[in-house]
Amino acid sequence: MNRLKAINQPQRIVVKIGTGLLTNAGRQLDLARVSALADQLAALRRNSIEVAVVSSGAIGAGMGELGMTARPTSLPELQACAAIGQSKLMSLYAEAFRRHGLHVAQILLTHADLSDRVRHLNARNTIDTLLARGVVPIINENDTVVTDEIKFGDNDTLGALVANLIEADAFVILTDQDGLYTADPRKDASASLISEAQAGDEKLELMAGGAGSHIGRGGMITKVLAAKRAARSGAHTVIASGHERDVLPRLLQGESIGTLLTASALSLDARKQWLADHLQVSGKVSLDAGAVRVLRNEGKSLLSIGVTQVSGEFQRGAVVAVLDTEGRDIARGLVNYNADEARRIAGKASGEIENILGYVDEPELIHRDNLVLL
């Protein structure tokens, strides 16, 4: 398949740039590399392609400013490096794009921002407005305030969430690797680069070092999972080396570089994308085999009779995870009852809800309009 045809001559793309590309061995910013990448992104803008950048590198930049030679291990030190490095990173981007007559804007997000529906919509409207005015948004996780452990590769997930948020046509992950291989090329001389595959193919997760794999590709598994997530909004993903000369213009000209992970023709509507993109949930409901079959094959609502277990504490209207009989996460949904009520009606028919609770709000635990399969 021609790469240009596969990404359908994109009008809007998200480009994620990894730490390894922006820093010298993760210790300080590579000024020449930042400038070269800005040149390529500016070339896309000149071709009327809207570009949002998800950029790593803040912690590495902060380490360079503080003269650190080893990545800190404590959360406060990582957050301090991010606080120092983010301003340095933005300063370099601003200068690099200014040479092309382009403005940049800093957007710092957390997963909580995208999980809250109102903040989610506000973030989308802000980015849409910036792109319409020809500004290049530089997006990063707000590492100075997040309480979760800061990990390499997390911006792969953030990039996919942004691609879904702004309904991008394509998601490009620039890394220091050539793409996804059939095995670890450092250990297996027969390993070959996968030029093209379907996003969400379970075999890719094994190749990338997922569960059940005997190889380890570092952060490649996060990229494969990010491509799967981005595909839900119809975005195709390319994983390619940012060290390739003019990699972005060449990709957009249809040249075969790296690994293309194509999305299916079907995509979720905006509201269901938002549901699917919840990384953290208030609770979980486990189903019996019959309920799993009905959800997967018949597209029906989730009834309380099919629920075997309820965990966590949540209120009505919260987003909960739906698990199959093996404990696998198969869906997200807005629940019609709080956790205590859900536990009391679990395994019971809809006609029994009023007798158990003294009232009935909805006959379904989760209505199909508020449910999305993963």
**Residue 182 and residue 70 in one domain:** yes
Instruction: Tell me the residue ranges of DSSP E strands in the chain.
Output: 12-17, 50-55, 104-109, 136-141, 170-175, 196-198, 236-241, 259-262, 283-287, 307-312, 319-323, 329-334, 371-373
**Residue 264 and residue 335 in one domain:** no
pLDDT tens sequence across 239-293: 999 999 999 999 988 899 999 999 876 666 766 777 777 777 889 999 999 999 9
**Residue 298 and residue 264 in one domain:** no
**Residue 219 and residue 287 in one domain:** no
**Residue 265 and residue 286 in one domain:** no
Give the pLDDT score at 139: 95
Number of domains in the chain: 2
**Residue 165 and residue 147 in one domain:** yes
Q: How far is CA 262 from CA 13, 169, 224, in A?
A: 14, 11, 11
Closest C-alpha among 94, 125, 313, 213 to residue 204: 213
**Residue 252 and residue 339 in one domain:** no
Q: Which CATH number covers residue 209?
A: 3.40.1160.10
**Residue 224 and residue 355 in one domain:** no
373: which strand partners? 331
- List the structure tokens of 141: 């996780």
Domain that holds residue 340: 281-373
pLDDT tens sequence across 52-85: 999 988 888 888 888 888 888 888 888 888 899 8
Give the pLDDT score at 147: 58
**Residue 87 and residue 226 in one domain:** yes
Last residue of a domain, one of 219, 246, 272: 272
Last residue of a domain, one of 272, 296, 327: 272
pTM reported for the whole predicted model: 0.78
The C-alpha R_g of the chain, in whole angstroms, comes to: 22
**Residue 133 and residue 82 in one domain:** yes
**Residue 9 and residue 56 in one domain:** yes
Q: How many Å apart are CA 123 and CA 129, to the nearest integer?
A: 10
What parts of the chain have a pLDDT lower than 50? 1, 4, 149-153, 211-218
Give the pLDDT score at 152: 35
Last residue of a domain, one of 245, 272, 299: 272
Share of the chain above pLDDT 70, in %: 90
State the first-to-last Cα distance of the chain, in angstroms, to the nearest integer: 27
Order the strands of the 329-334 sheet from edge to edge: 307-312, 283-287, 319-323, 329-334, 371-373
- List the structure tokens of 290: 């019959």
**Residue 263 and residue 309 in one domain:** no
Q: Which CATH number covers residue 368?
A: 2.30.130.10
Q: How many Å apart are CA 154 and CA 194, to the nearest integer?
A: 23
Cβ-based neighbours of 269, under 8 Å, separated by 6 or more = none
Question: What residue type is 246 in one-letter code?
Answer: D
